Amino acid sequence: MIDADEKLLPPREEAPRIEAPAEERLREEIEALRRELKELKEKNGARHDTKAARPRGRTLWLIGIAFLILLVLAALLGWLPRHLRAKELEKESRQEKQALPQVKFVRAQSSAGADELMLPGTTEAITDAPILARADGYVAQRFVDIGDRVRKGRVMAIIAAPDLDQQVAQARAQVAQAQSALKQADANLQQGKANEELARVTAARYEHLVARGAVARQDNDTQQTNYQTQVSNVSALAEAEGAASQNVESARANLRRLVELQGFERVTAPFDGVVTLRNIDVGALITTGTTLMFRVAQTDRLRTYINVPQPNAPSVTVGEEARISAAEFGDHDFPGRVTRTAQALDPATRTLVTEVQVPNPDGKLRPGMFVNVKLQIQRVSEPILVPGDSLIVDAAGAHVGVLRDVKRVPPPSRNNNGKSKGETIDGTVHLQNVTLGRDYGAATEITAGLSQGDLVIVNPNDNVREGVRAQATETQAILDVESGSPAQRKQNVNSEKLQKQPGAEPPPKRPSEMKKKRGPGF
């Protein structure tokens, strides 16, 4: 058992390691202190026993009653406010269950009939020709370099081709030889004609003499046969002369071919343009049809190809005006025109390939630049515009909350600024399936499923379900998309700025967060 005096002492802690004499002295001092404390306690206990008086029963009753009263007051102060608060919450919950869900709505509007379509493209030279060699040899001289402007027919380089020069000389000799053979064939033909005439006269004379009986019939037959032989010989000589004439023409044609090839030793510009590429220098080996020497581009007029989406393809016509802009020139743009279309959509992308040409007399635009092409599109059917945050996207597709069976309610009171709030109505919620068009961020086009004037619920919450009765207040939203506005000209490709209506709520500063809330794909 632990003595009462020991309880008054502080708990013992593990003593540090000290020497034995010091430890003995400490133990003796502790025992002395305990004895003194025990004596003091005995003296104090005897004094209290002599002086203490036993309390009366009435006093004990009063103390108990006071204690009970304090307990009751404490219970009332803790339970009563909590009870009142619970009743108030129950009342509010009952009222909330009985009240209709509160939503906001806007009236669906038709989009503009004309739309500005902006598509990306890359500028190309109206004519871009690679210059390849037509003669084998070595570059003897070079007269142009990249960036030089050339006129049609200007000599750009000279190729030394000694083999080709020797072939030209040989071809000229072959022409001369063929001409000599032709003259010899002509002389033989003339001689054959003379022999034919002599044989004819002799055959006629013998035929007259045989009729008189002056010569034998055998001699006459011999002369007649000789005449026919000379006739055949003349025909053969005529054919030989024709063959010799054809040989001459063949030799001349070969000479002309080689002379033409020899002319390709002088490399000339095919049209007026700019040298955009040079691959050779003096001394370089040139191979016919393989070595790319230069590239010349005609840049006074450029063209760009754009891919028009299928919904806008019927509105694109040849001759339509276009505006071409580039980031390097800021707000300055260049006039262009649609020159041709593919007249068929690419089945892989569902787009119409369209060529737009733009005059470039001052050379500001360069081939290969990334540009934006703006077209004014007249829509066949005007889509419906709704706020972007009114869409409900789930596994079943895209929906929009629409109010049906509408009943008007009394006009609301004025707000603190003295302005009357929008119209308040009661209606049944219907989740309408819709087909989405272009997404402008704060507003979205609906191509099917809605009509102008439909009451569309804005920013629907979890209470917006099919068939639920709701109380709605009309609000304003950004639905006006003006084509060609200054804000729209600064927008990225395939997007447009939305114009703010008077009194409309400001557009969200972070439309990407709105798209995340609406669901994937928006």
Instruction: Render pLDDT for 56-78 as a digit per residue (tens, 0 to 9).
Output: 566 777 777 777 777 777 776 77
The structure tokens listed for 501 are 């209506």
Long-range contacts (CB closer than 8 Å, 24 or more residues apart) made by 345-348: 345/310, 345/313, 346/307
Rg, Å, the chain Cα set: 57
Q: Nearest to residue 329, comparing CAs of 482, 147, 123?
A: 123
Residue 147 phi, psi (nearest 5): 90, -15
The 10s digit of each residue's pLDDT in 263-294 is 889 999 999 999 999 999 999 998 888 889 99
What is the per-residue pLDDT for 411?
59
pTM of this structure: 0.52
**Is residue 333 within 8 Å of 356, Cβ to Cβ?**
no
pLDDT, position 122? 93
Report the alpha-carbon angle 394-399-404, nearest 5.
140
pLDDT tens string 414-466: 444 444 455 677 778 888 888 887 777 778 888 787 877 788 888 787 777 77
- pLDDT category of residue 493 using cuts at 50, 70 and 90: very low
Average confidence (pLDDT) over 172-197: 89
- Which residue has 């798209």 as its token pair? 515
Q: How far apart are CA 190 and CA 180, in angstroms?
A: 15
| Contact (Cβ atoms closer than 8 angstroms) between residue 111 and residue 385 | yes
- 40 vs 435: CA distance, rounded Å: 98
Distance, CA of 505 to CA of 106 (rounded, Å)? 12
Phi and psi, residue 103, nearest 5°: -135, 170
Structure tokens at 422: 């929008």
Sign of the CA dihedral running 246, 248, 254, 259: negative
DSSP 365: S
d(CA 374, CA 484): 9
Residue 422: the pLDDT is: 57
Q: Whose CA is closest to 381, among 324, 432, 311, 435? A: 311
Pairing between strand 292-309 and 114-132?
antiparallel
For residue 385, what is the enclosing H or E element? strand 384-387
Tell me how far apart the alpha carbons of residues 403 and 436 are, in angstroms, rounded to a whole number: 19
pLDDT at 51: 46
Is residue 376 predicted with pLDDT exceeding 90?
no
